[in-house]
Structure 1
């Protein structure tokens, strides 16, 4: 029985784009090892461009056809059997095929854009030319440098400028210039960033809430709260969930965020939960207080006493019918 050992390998090579490439090696070990191929630590599988070869003598190979620029990277062959494991790696570089010299030009140009403040917006274009054009972005004729808010991507053919968290100050004319030794070209587009009308606004919030009040019937009571918000909140007063309206007995005062409810000649019907509610377009908030109306004790009394009356037999008196024998039904 034998562990696994790689006896022939390649240490690095390069090839031209669109050609084919084969990586070959000899592996010893018994039982014959299983082979796994990796590119930049990612396992490869056979497909239209990748073909694997193995024979009983321990010769293994991988063919890539056709080769693309993105195939550049470090390739690793891992050989494994039940007695051990061995690996070998080589760096593989793909060179671009030289093209016929051509001045730069835009296949797709920039388009005007409009977005809301805080959104992500991007300009994209496709270019061609040989040698590969150099590319520069400008805004209002000033060079634009990559930053956290401005991400620039360019692979020699596709160019993209991404603006994160767009602000009104980013409004302007954006230009991408491309050039090589055979010429120059440029494309321009406008960006309009619409300001957020609620950016500096604040939802309603109580800085001081109303307090519980206890009073006697006939008293005057006041409830006070302090609220902030931008735009200024609209205020609604409620008792037991029923909105109040101003009258001779009920008065509202609202000034500089101070909200006051005044109730004159309080009756027992006002006893319950008093609510102050503030609302603007960013939200709604409320606070509650208890109004307890004391009703003084009093002996029984008739609001309307009975009166002597003369009526005919079988007549209805106050909703009751007088029958023979003077009984009431």
Structure 2
């Protein structure tokens, strides 16, 4: 209940804001009260969007006759890593009757036909909002009625997690605005040998990373060094060790963006699961910016710390020279 899964969609009951374990959405968009809101989309850690009483995602002021394309309708939580304070931003602002069609990955027991609660703005129906236990383990009522005859489903495969932690075809990683679009972890893993791993090797699905950090616990079940111990022993830049630079700083930089991102500092708010670095590659994206390359380039692997214009800025040539053979045995 603290992992974040169950908070993907939250129903507003009796005009009261939903409650979360680590964050709080204190008010809806300008012009609305909680009595005007049917559901809150998200709100666990990164951002929150809101649905009106007809189930449409709120994109404009109530009763607006002229679309306001600058209307602030998405609430982003503060993010220290990106250097952003909490605030309101635009999401499809001014677009009329924006339907909610994300139930397949935001709810439990989803079917794409009909309209939940008879709200025309919602595509499909569900048994429960959010990703509850039964979304992964199957109907608990059947197991309760016959515990010895019907076992709960336990699927440890990466494909099970990838059913939701993906955006489109797994053969490519979608990008926009200088970042990888959010919830593409499975597409990212698909680009490398790590696709052979099950997600649960590193992650306990019942304990989210946000929850573990809040409780001052290790965010993963294992570490990079457990497998890549030889590389961990051989790092060519001794200053990195002195500064306690972690494997994920270079090999899992924040290339993804869910809420906040600063493209000039090569920093989003989601760590990527693209992990291999190509030291001969600078940019991270295709020429049109719509796809991420399969390996990490120097932009995010290096420049998210060696920020251009900062005191620790390095030239591309210097970064490449340091990155080539970085883990070779000395």
Structure index of larger Rg:
1
Q: Same fold (TM over 0.5)?
A: no
- Kindly indicate which of the two structures has a greater share of residues assigned to helix: 2
Q: Which has the higher contact order (CA 8 A, sep 6+)?
A: 2
- Kindly indicate which of the two structures has a greater share of residues assigned to strand: 1
Give the TM-score band, short-chain normalised: under 0.3
Q: TM-score, normalised by structure 1?
A: 0.16
Q: TM-score, normalised by structure 2?
A: 0.16
